[in-house]
Structure 1
């Protein structure tokens, strides 16, 4: 089974739309409530909800632009601060989630940044009851090594996502749910690298990738 570039783009769009549906829907609902509400205190509350939903929508769009898109405006090297800000916003939206940032490099190759962002997305999703997402990356000897660790009271990593990360396409069709893991596998394979995934145990899951820097 082969996933065409058009199919993969469609799956990425499906994932983006799925994640944006809730905050954009909240914006619409908030505007409807604001139009009918006359109580000053309730109108102020509506405005706060609208601001929260707008901020969430903008944060998700920024994250997906870097993780899934062409990242226009950046060359082959991407300022790591852009990735950190995008991940911080992603983690902040999750209840009870915190970020431990362990990346010292100022820039990383675009392919490495996309890999890091998508692994962070998968790691954050695995923290179903909150926890800490720790991210490390370094360039050494012409290779970039990336490690994402999720630790929390309940950590779940779908078996199909795990398989797609390490093996890519299989007998099961790639879906919007596994699109990010397929993208990671594809990017790393193109750069002559590999992806490592630990089975969730004792509230910890570790995702790793090694790929050529150029």
Structure 2
């Protein structure tokens, strides 16, 4: 990617972050205004509950973006599995009823694999508009990290442009804040010599990735 392309992609990712944080941060601001004017004890307790919920949602989203887009996870090549699980479980518990199942071998995964896994999980959660089940699996086999994320429920909503971004079929000018993350992990897969796949029908969305394990981590 050229420098201008990198800047444009970073701008789109920042737009996505701001979009996702606008609602809970706005709720914090509104709640504080209500709390300042409210004198009824029961209503004040309710305002505090809403403030706590909004603060928790904001923190969960920031933790996710830090790990999925940033350089979180320490200075090593691997990220502990429980760190990735924690942010996904927090997102899955916010709002829609989602049953979350994990099947991951080992105690850590390479950073590129974690970024891909988290972003695939986020895409899958967005597709479960009425809730459902989210299965996340990963294993290292024959020097490769294989990742599978499956969302299943009564209704699956998946934007075809996200699928095109996952396959690297969108140009930079065609990207939006909604598809930027999918484009980013497509670049991660391409740069590491791996690939992404997806399949969708009325009741399930399956997202997959195969990424070579960094040489320093093999064995």
TM range, smaller chain:
over 0.9
- Report Cα offsets for 1:155-184 as digits up to 9, x if no partner: 011111011101343386111010111011
Kept in 2, the 8 Å contact 1:144–1:210? The answer is yes
Q: Specify the alignment match of 2:166 in structure 1.
A: 165
TM-score normalised by structure 2 residue count: 0.93
Q: How does 1:23-172 map to 2 (within 5 A)?
A: 23-71=24-72, 73-170=74-171
Aligned residues: 213
Unaligned runs of at least 5 residues, structure 2: 215-219
SS at match of 1:149: strand
Distance apart, 1:205 and its partner CA: 0.9
Listed one character per residue, the Cα deviations across residues 37-82 of structure 1 (whole Å, up to 9, x for unaligned) are 0001110111111000001000000000000112162411100100
Range 24-33 or range 160-169, more displaced = 160-169
Q: Match of 1:211? A: 211
Off by >2 Å, runs of 4+ in structure 1: 167-172
Q: Within 1, Cα distance between the matches of 2:7 and 2:80?
A: 28
Q: CA shift at 1:104, angstroms? A: 2.6
